[in-house]
Every structure is written in structure tokens, then in C-alpha cells.
Copies of this chain bind each other. A is one copy, B any other.
């Protein structure tokens, strides 16, 4: 699959590693072309099974069917508005955890979610999927925690779009778990928030992940 990852930061790096592990054609976009180039080079060195990696500037065409918004909230919202019609028809993956500035509460009003806010801002026909907000960057680079594949929890209103994201997840040797419609992003963002708040007290150093064990 052709996938564009916008944001060459920590999460773009983590997701990029899973995408190239799965043999996909990845384009890294960043406002800073040097950052995009640096990450593209790192991912190219890690590429498997026919994976390709390119870096592109912020104004280039968005390649592929899937666009991952690997930026912080509320940057994801601003980004979507900026990109406007360039997102038309894409599957847009929102990975954000909308924390407030003191990191002790969600910044989104109760009864909604960052993913739903993103969905309200994309062009008609663009499908938004929530995923990767309960997995941290370093664990994505590794693909596992304590010897077990990460669970990637996926919410969305379009079955085909969710399945495309689930396929990317599985190709990267992670476990995809569909959790229902996009409004389930409310619970996913709550879970992402909980996970973040526990890092310091439990001294986990972002080397943890939520798993549905069975």
C-alpha cells in the first residue's frame, strides 16, 4: 500500500518502522525537509520485503490511499484544515491524544474526541480512522513489548477504511483490534491518556502498552 506519514517526529518514526517492516511504500512529509530526509534514510535502512521510502516537502501531492497524521493535538486539526481538498478521498489516520497543557486531563470537551473533531474537518468522502494512540513510539519501533506484539486499537465508521488500517497493522506484525465506530475514539483517547499519566509514577519510560490479554 502507498502510505503518506505527515510528521517526522517520534510517532512518525514508530509508525514508519512498522510500515516498512510490512513492505509498504512510504512517503514521509514534514515541514522541515531535513527531518523528513533524516527519517526517510533511517526507515530505508530498515526496509523489508520491497518497502520503499521517500521524503517529501509539505506542499507536495499526498501519495497513496492512506495518510497518517503523526502530529500532536491540536496540530492534527490545524493540519487537516490546511491540507483541505488534498485529503479528499483518502483514508486519514488520526493517532492523537488530546491532552491539555498540564497533561492531567483531556483537552477535548466531554462527549467527543479528537478523531471526531478531525472527521468534522476533512472534505466529504474522506474517511477518518483512529489508531495507534495507545502505542508509544519506542514500542512501535520494536513492534513488541515484553516479547508480545502490540495491540493496535482501531475505531472508524467505514469498514473498508478500518480494514485497510488493520492490514497495515498486521503487515507490521502487530495485532489489529477493531473496537467499533469512530465515536469509540472517546474511550481510546481516554485509554491513551491513562497510559500517558501512568508512565512517570510507574517509571515505565514509555516502554509499555495496553494489551487485551486472553
- Which residues of A are at the interface with B, using a C-beta cutoff of 8 A? 109-112, 145-146, 148, 153, 177-180, 184, 186-188, 190-191, 193-195, 197-198, 201-202, 204, 207-214
Contact = CB atoms under 8 A, between A and B. Distances in A.
A212 B206 CA distance: 11
Contact of A214 (B110, B146, B212): B146
Nearest to A111: B110
A9 B58 CA distance: 58
Contact of A179 (B112, B188, B198, B212): B198
A177 B202 contact: yes
A112 B111 CA distance: 10
A179 B208 contact: no
Nearest to A146: B213
A58 B99 CA distance: 44
A208 B202 contact: no
A160 B71 CA distance: 39
A17 B186 CA distance: 33
B208 A210 contact: no
Contacts of A112: 110
